Amino acid sequence: MNIHEYQAKQILARYGVTIPKGHVAESAEKAEIAATKIGGSRWVVKAQIHAGDRGKTGGIRPAESLENIREHASDLIGMKLVTPQTGPAGRKVNQVYVEQACDIDRELYLAMLVDRDSAQVAIIASTVGGMEIERVAESSPNKIIKTLINHTDGLGSEHSRQVAQALGLTGQHENTVVQLLASLYHTFVELDASLIEINPLVVTGSNELLPLDVKMSFDDNALFRHPELEKLRDDTEEDPDRLERARHGFNYIKLGGHIGCVVTGAGLALATIDLIKRHGGEPANFLDLPPTATRSQVAEAFKLILKDDDVRAIFVNAVGGGFTRCNVIAEGIITASQDVGINVPLIIRLAGTAREAAMMLLRNSRLEFISTDDLADAATRAVDAAGGRR
């Protein structure tokens, strides 16, 4: 789960990190009030969307008067901001963050993330801040410093001082980095974060070290431990289909092919995708029903797949066992056909608990479908039904 910049900064402030003064606003009038509360004569108005590169596309604007604040906020709120990370569709800006401006002397990069290869938390730092770290990795890989933190020992001062020295920060700044990284690590571990990225981390003209932009992401699987974080979710920034499938409790990933897949279990779902491709077809999706799937969840999975105009056939590969019985799968299929209709060829392969009861339900429903017990045969029939080998 991603959150907005202003939310990430509020979290860091609670963990002892010094951040520039700022307030979020949903209107031009509130943006002007925010600037008045901050004080001073120079501010920055920032569009709040879950995407980077805002500055390059007009989403971050300096202001030197309250009139500027109103103009920028009025212009940004309600607009579709397009950046390389949003894609051509862009994202609608619903609020702006009015922040105290500062004189920038140096821009650095600092992040903490989960390193999948080592299964450890990694600190990524660079003297080239303000750029996408991927571009730095391509053009100047020697300017990226990576430090791994052993989860047993945790963050030590030696890690922090090593990062500070690599960034060319000494004296007072070195001590500040040590404190900053300690706060980031505490935040990261305690809140089950998957990414905390500060880009840029700036050295100001007055010799302060400040996080100018912050991104923060959390592990969805750990949100049950953090109801306070779940409240920060902005549904307007989420894929509607993702929200729908999360509400119904199943995993779904669109893959772009023509054969919709409804499968019980992630391992079987992956094997089904491999088998379809082996027989010359292209799966339209990965869909993994939960082990406690209900009739309603199966029906909603079908409805989601049927929304995809590219789907030419649906392949059901279900093994009854544990908490999910084949008759529940059958009841869900029948419910979907009654609610929205199934207007593409349907290939069904069922095995395991209550298979016979399920087949009887399906036959009595007068639903048209192709049934086979052989998995390879089912995949071949699905490929043929969707138009044959690619």
Which run of H or E residues covers position 251?
strand 251-254
- Report yes or no: 257 and 274 within 8 Å, Cβ to Cβ: no
User: Which contiguous run of DSSP H or E holds residue 314?
Assistant: strand 313-320
If residue 385 lies in a helix (H) or strand (E), which one and from where to where? helix 375-385
Q: Which helix (H) or strand (E) holds 164?
A: helix 157-166
Look up tokens 């087949």; give the residue: 359
Q: Which two tokens stand for residue 234?
A: 């902005």
| 94 neighbors 26 (Cβ within 8 angstroms) | yes
Q: Which two tokens stand for residue 365?
A: 């429903």
Per the annotation, the verdict on 109 as an active-site residue is yes
Nearest alpha-carbon partner for 353 in 326, 372, 331, 373: 326
How far is residue 301's CA from residue 284's CA, in Å, rounded to a whole number? Answer: 13
- Residues 6 or more apart whose CB falls under 8 angstroms from that of 279 comprise 376, 379, 380, 383, 389
Q: Are 289 and 297 contacting, i.e. CB atoms less than 8 angstroms apart?
A: yes
Q: How far is CA 257 from CA 27, 163, 270, 336, in A?
A: 43, 46, 15, 21
Instruction: Name residue 348's beta-bridge partners.
Output: 316, 371
Q: Hunting for tokens 């989403």 — which residue is that?
A: 59
Catalytic residue among 109, 252, 300, 331: 109
Pick the catalytic residue: 197, 282, 300, 331? 197
Q: What is the DSSP letter of 141?
A: G
Let me know: does 20 contact 99? Beta carbons within 8 Å.
yes
The set of catalytic residues is: 109, 197
